[in-house]
Structure 1
Amino acid sequence: MNLIIFLLIGALAGWLAGVVMKGRGFGVIINIVVGVVGAWLGGWLLPKLGIAFGGTVGSFITAFVGAVILLAIIGLIKKA
């Protein structure tokens, strides 16, 4: 059940990150995948920076931040 929640939060965060990062999104499906990977990235990176959120809302914030970071990195690589 936790995996399903993780995937749903990541998918929503990826979609929202694609909306926020106008011009850096790659379509709904890829943004959802980026959100899931971004959720993992945010969960790994933010605690290393001393930032931690708890609960479902915190998980969403972490996933959203990770997805935005990942979309920015992919956008930079895509331009190069």
Structure 2
Amino acid sequence: MQGLGWLAAIIVGALAGWIAEKIMKANMGLLMNIVLGIVGALVANFLLVTLLGATLGGWIGQLIVGVIGACLLIWIVRAIRGSRAV
């Protein structure tokens, strides 16, 4: 996560993963929320930089990007598995 330290990245990642879990109505644990939030933020940041040439910065920006990325990852896993469960 650009501009955030490791502890902040874990906290923001966990929060982003939890929000994505609620939006997508998935059933995951804390560790998976953290992973999805952090990886989702990395994926979404990459896509934003590639497509728009910029990304959102700061805690709030990374939270928004993390939620979008985590929702995208949940959607991809559901598409591959072919079910509603993650």
TM-score normalised to the size of structure 1? 0.82
Task: Write the distance in 1 (CA, Å) between the matches of 2:27 and 2:80.
Answer: 13
Task: Write the distance in 1 (CA, Å) between the matches of 2:65 and 2:20.
Answer: 12
AA at the equivalent of 2:19: L
Task: Write the distance in 2 (CA, Å) between the matches of 1:26 and 1:46.
Answer: 27
AA at the equivalent of 1:27: M
Work out whether 1:9 is the aligned partner of 2:34.
no
Gaps of 5+ in 1: none
Report deviation, 1:47. Answer: 1.5
Moved over 6 A (4+): none
Task: Write the distance in 2 (CA, Å) between the matches of 1:31 and 1:72.
Answer: 14
In terms of fraction of residues, the more helix-rich structure is 1
2:50 is matched with 48
Q: Identity of aligned pairs, percent?
A: 36
TM-score normalised to the size of structure 2? 0.77
